[in-house]
Amino acid sequence: MFTSTVGAPISARTPDQGAHAYSSIVVTPASPHIGAEVTGIDLTRELSPQQVAEVKDAFVRHQVLFFREQRISFEDHIRFASLFGTLGRHVGAQTISKPTDHPLVRRFHYDETSQRISGESWHSDQSCAPVPPLGSMLYNHIVPPDGGGDTMFASTYAAYDALSERMKAFLSGLTATHDGARVFGPGTPKASHPVIVHHPESGRRGIFVNADFTSHINELPRKEGDAVLDFLYRHIGRDEWSCRFRWRAHSIAFWDNRCAQHKALWDYWPNVRSGYRVQIEGTAPPLAG
């Protein structure tokens, strides 16, 4: 008899994020495992020390934060993102997103002339860098009028937690090569990172491979490594530990590349989706889990 594993109980079905009370902002979880919307905050103004502390806490707790109704300028964008670290520049040689006249802000604009969009498969940003960006903050001021253009986010913590103890032990200690040339062409960095990483602030373990940048597992023969990677990509991309952000004009998504993956849905051509993104530099290479 065929036994389906669909719907089988998995450990990650235990919710690992819930509402947490803050005094200066309101944070509403977007799913049981990842994502939260932050309200009661105006990002066109300087934040109070209490708001800064609470947004930082929420970022570590929820992995990706969403903000709405924020008509921010480049200066506002940079001021807010700089609270989380030094802002950095994209490592890509040939990129779909384009520089603006501000060296720290890139334009993510798609319309009827677009051949591709950035980030259509699950990934964390620029994992090919020796020290990948800690986070990315995308502001969209134009969204498709007929809907679409959502961004999906996946918790690599919850995906890790759902693995069997045997699989966790097998993956522990392995490293993988992340090759920027796969996405951005020649002249972009290549780096090796642990397959299982340890988040420096939350202390939680997550899976750190993605189909965009990861070329192979260093310690395994190619065929074996490819099979393991294929399993991990499908596992990370499962619905159970994802959330979906439906953009509205003047929304912001701010994600932690150390523990979340994302993918952009291109279901709105020929309509326009347009915004700006800054990235926050990482401070150290990913830590082995």
- 277 assigned to active site: yes
| Residue 151 binds to ligand SIN (criterion: CB under 6 A) | yes
Q: Which helix (H) or strand (E) holds 196?
A: strand 196-198
In the block, tokens 């849905």 appear at 265
Choose which of 66, 67, 80, 108 interacts with ligand SIN (CB under 6 A).
108
Rounded least distance, CB 123 to ligand SIN, Å: 7
Q: Computed over its alpha carbons, how large is the radius of gyration of the chain?
A: 19
| Residue 180 binds to ligand SIN (criterion: CB under 6 A) | no
Reading the block at residue 111, the tokens are 């319309």
- 239 assigned to active site: no
Q: How many residues bind ligand SIN (CB under 6 A)?
A: 7
Catalytic option among 90, 123, 199, 258: 123
| Residue 90 binds to ligand SIN (criterion: CB under 6 A) | no
| Residue 51 binds to ligand SIN (criterion: CB under 6 A) | no
Query: Which has the closest alpha carbon to 288: 170, 228, 231, 207?
Result: 207
DSSP one-letter string for 27-59: EEESSSSS-EEEES--TTSPPPHHHHHHHHHHH
Rounded least distance, CB 36 to ligand SIN, Å: 17
How far apart are the C-alpha atoms of 154 and 156, rounded to whole Å?
Answer: 6
Strand order of the β-sheet with 196-198 is 205-207, 196-198, 287-288
Strand ranges (E), 143-250: 151-155, 175-179, 190-194, 196-198, 205-207, 214-217, 242-245
Residue nearest to ligand SIN (CB): 119
How far apart are the C-alpha atoms of 224 and 162, rounded to whole Å?
Answer: 21
Choose which of 119, 132, 180, 286 interacts with ligand SIN (CB under 6 A).
119
Rounded least distance, CB 264 to ligand SIN, Å: 3
Rounded least distance, CB 144 to ligand SIN, Å: 12
| Residue 91 binds to ligand SIN (criterion: CB under 6 A) | no
Nearer to ligand SIN, 151 or 214 (CB): 151
Count of Cβ atoms closer than 10 Å to residue 223 Cβ: 8
Q: Which of residues 216-275 bind ligand SIN (CB under 6 A)?
A: 262, 264
Nearer to ligand SIN, 35 or 119 (CB): 119
Nearer to ligand SIN, 91 or 162 (CB): 91
Strand order of the β-sheet with 151-155 is 242-245, 151-155, 260-264
The three-point CA angle 37-39-45 to 5° equals 125
Nearer to ligand SIN, 29 or 119 (CB): 119
Q: Which residues bind ligand SIN (CB under 6 A)?
A: 108, 118-119, 138, 151, 262, 264
Catalytic residue IDs:
123, 125, 262, 277
